């Protein structure tokens, strides 16, 4: 018999087997689908948490921690937030390819030309212009602002959709907390998983910001700090912080080559030593440079609870395979006469094995389709309990492929022992 004819024959027998015991095979598919679905849902979360958000340059981007606190009891050592003058010393260094100095804020935004008074609560990233090149921010319209001071802004795609229905809004004016600023750039849909430039304060799974404004302008306008800050002195507004010991800025730098890291480390250590020699801080010199993946690891972005649940899902899938195998074993035991008859008319153990594997593969395809639907449902359910995971609860194409492969592997694994037992029966015993 030709191989293609044999395949069609085995496929026909598999479909007939499904029709004879639809309830049993439904239970098998449901059992395996739940196991594979739960595991794929958890793998989707872990994949997003542990992925490299900017692989093309993650090894060249470094977050800077410093310890320039003016007394001997700093909140942390070293701190991931910097004073204005410390951050500016980093930005002015000629050792880097680029830098981004920023802080998180928030404003209410509305179209200044609209008759509607509806305002949108918007997340703001007050930053130096280097932020856009450093993060590879994708522009749909316009370009980045070129200076740290000026009444110009860049807005994200989501805010552009809300206010301008996704159209080219370059040149339009937004009213931000009573101030008028002109849009010079609009970003494309931009998703970072995780949000590497601000993973602290449990923001690693947040969406990218709605508005990007020049740092000096945001400070001048008194836009408040919406992230962690520490102060060794009293102050009434952020506009007073440039020459005070107020720590709230984060600093990232891009190096042309990772071999430049020691030179930058020496620059930071020498800067801190000069402050120490001038009596401005009593702390030991301890400055740290972390690349993207190191910084995500330091901030424990991969949730250990999700990781533990993923390991538990593997054990749960093993139980599902065992249960499916037991159901298949009962099916093969009930079909002993059919097996004996086929072997009596000339079917070899090899033919019986191929027939069983064909049935398992077909079962695996059905299981995979159901499992992917269940994975999607489990992800939606997880977001209901953990809303902060909404941005990373995504089934990427590679996970869809993995889900199908897992379904096929589990289906075949569950059938191996029943097939072995079926081929161990003697023909005379089967035909009694």
By the 8 A CB rule, do 154 and 212 touch?
A: yes
* 412 closest CA partner among 120, 23, 32: 32
Residue 54 has pLDDT above 90, yes or no: yes
CA dihedral sign of residues 74, 78, 80, 81: positive
CA 424 to chain centroid, in Å, comes to 49
Residue 197 has pLDDT above 90, yes or no: yes
Using DSSP's 3-state secondary structure scheme, residue 149 falls into coil
Mean pLDDT of 282-291: 94
Distance of alpha carbon 76 from alpha carbon 66, whole angstroms: 10
Residue 346 gets the label, from left (phi > 0), alpha (psi -120 to 50) or beta, of left
CA distances from 414 to 329, 335, 354, 359 (A): 9, 17, 15, 12
For residue 305, cis peptide bond before it (omega within 30 degrees of 0) = no
| pTM of the full structure | 0.84
Q: pLDDT category, 147, cuts 50, 70, 90?
A: very high
Q: Per mean pLDDT, which range of 93-107, 174-188, 329-343, 358-372 is the poorest?
A: 329-343
Mean pLDDT of 287-306: 93
Max Cα separation, the chain?
100
CA dihedral sign of residues 389, 303, 104, 154: negative
Q: Looking at residue 327, what is its pLDDT?
A: 86
Distance of alpha carbon 155 from alpha carbon 372, whole angstroms: 35
Residue with tokens 């520490």: 230
By the 8 A CB rule, do 217 and 55 touch?
A: no
By the 8 A CB rule, do 349 and 427 touch?
A: no
CA dihedral sign of residues 238, 242, 245, 250: positive
* 344 closest CA partner among 261, 429, 262: 429
Mean pLDDT of 91-110: 96
Distance of alpha carbon 208 from alpha carbon 131, whole angstroms: 13
Q: Kindly compute the dihedral angle of the four CA atoms of residues 294, 296, 298, 304, in this order, to the nearest 10 degrees.
A: -130
By the 8 A CB rule, do 411 and 32 touch?
A: yes
Q: Per mean pLDDT, which range of 43-47, 162-166, 195-199, 325-329 is the poorest?
A: 325-329
Which tokens hold the place of 66?
């410093």
Distance of alpha carbon 155 from alpha carbon 176, whole angstroms: 12
Q: pLDDT category, 431, cuts 50, 70, 90?
A: very low
CA distances from 77 to 87, 188, 423 (A): 17, 38, 67
CA distances from 177 to 107, 124, 132 (A): 6, 12, 24
| Proportion of the chain above pLDDT 90, given as a percent | 67
* 411 closest CA partner among 9, 16, 30: 30
pLDDT digits (tens, 9 = 90+) for 235-274: 999 999 999 999 999 999 999 999 999 999 999 999 999 9
Q: Looking at residue 307, what is its pLDDT?
A: 85
Mean pLDDT of 393-411: 91
Residue 102 has pLDDT above 90, yes or no: yes
Q: Looking at residue 27, what is its pLDDT?
A: 92
- Round the average pLDDT of the chain to a whole number and report it: 89
By the 8 A CB rule, do 255 and 264 touch?
A: yes
Residue 432 has pLDDT above 70, yes or no: no
Mean pLDDT of 204-230: 97
Residue 79 has pLDDT above 70, yes or no: yes
Q: CA angle, 152 as apex, 120 and 193 as ends, to 5°? A: 60
End-to-end CA distance of the chain: 30
Residue with tokens 């370059």: 170
Q: pLDDT category, 419, cuts 50, 70, 90?
A: confident
């Amino acid at each position: 018999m030709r191989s293609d004819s044999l395949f069609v024959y085995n496929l026909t027998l598999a479909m007939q087997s499904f029709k004879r015991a639809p309830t049993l095979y439904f239970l098998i598919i449901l059992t395996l689908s739940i196991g594979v679905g739960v595991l794929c849902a958890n793998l989707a979360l872990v994949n997003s948490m542990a992925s490299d958000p900017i692989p093309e340059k993650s090894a060249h981007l470094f977050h800077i921690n410093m310890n320039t606190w003016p007394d001997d009891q700093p909140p942390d050592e070293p701190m991931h937030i910097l004073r204005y003058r410390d951050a500016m010393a980093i930005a002015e260094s000629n050792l880097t390819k680029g830098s981004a100095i920023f802080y998180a804020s928030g404003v209410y935004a509305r179209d200044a030309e609209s008759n509607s008074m509806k305002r949108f609560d918007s997340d703001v990233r007050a930053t130096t212009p280097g932020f856009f090149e450093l993060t590879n921010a994708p522009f749909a319209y316009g370009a980045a602002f070129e200076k740290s001071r000026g009444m110009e802004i860049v807005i994200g795609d989501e805010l552009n959709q809300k206010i301008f229905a996704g159209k080219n809004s370059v040149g339009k004016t937004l009213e931000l907390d009573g101030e008028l600023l002109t849009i010079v750039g609009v970003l494309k849909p931009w998703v970072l998983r995780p949000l590497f430039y601000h993973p602290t304060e449990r923001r690693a799974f947040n969406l990218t910001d709605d508005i990007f404004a020049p740092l000096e302008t945001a400070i001048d306008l008194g836009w408040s700090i919406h992230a962690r800050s520490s102060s060794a002195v009293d102050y009434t507004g952020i506009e007073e912080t440039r020459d005070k010991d107020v720590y709230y800025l984060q600093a990232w730098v891009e190096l042309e080559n990772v071999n430049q890291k020691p030179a930058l480390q020496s620059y930071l250590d020498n800067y801190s030593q000069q402050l120490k020699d001038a009596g401005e801080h009593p702390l030991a010199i301890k400055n740290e440079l972390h690349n993207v993946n190191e910084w995500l690891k330091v901030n424990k972005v991969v949730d250990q609870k999700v990781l533990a649940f993923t390991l538990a899902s593997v054990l749960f899938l093993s139980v599902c395979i065992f249960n499916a195998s037991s159901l298949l074993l009962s099916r093969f035991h009930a079909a002993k006469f059919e097996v004996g008859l086929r072997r009596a008319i000339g079917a070899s153990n090899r033919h019986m094995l191929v027939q069983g594997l064909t049935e398992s593969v077909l079962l695996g395809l059905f299981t995979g389709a159901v499992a992917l639907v269940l994975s999607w449902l489990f992800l939606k359910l997880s977001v209901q309990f953990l809303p902060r995971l909404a941005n990373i609860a995504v089934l990427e194409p590679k996970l869809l492929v993995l889900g199908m492969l897992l379904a096929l592997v589990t289906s075949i694994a569950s059938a191996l022992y029943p097939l072995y037992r079926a081929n161990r029966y003697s023909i005379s015993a089967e035909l009694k």
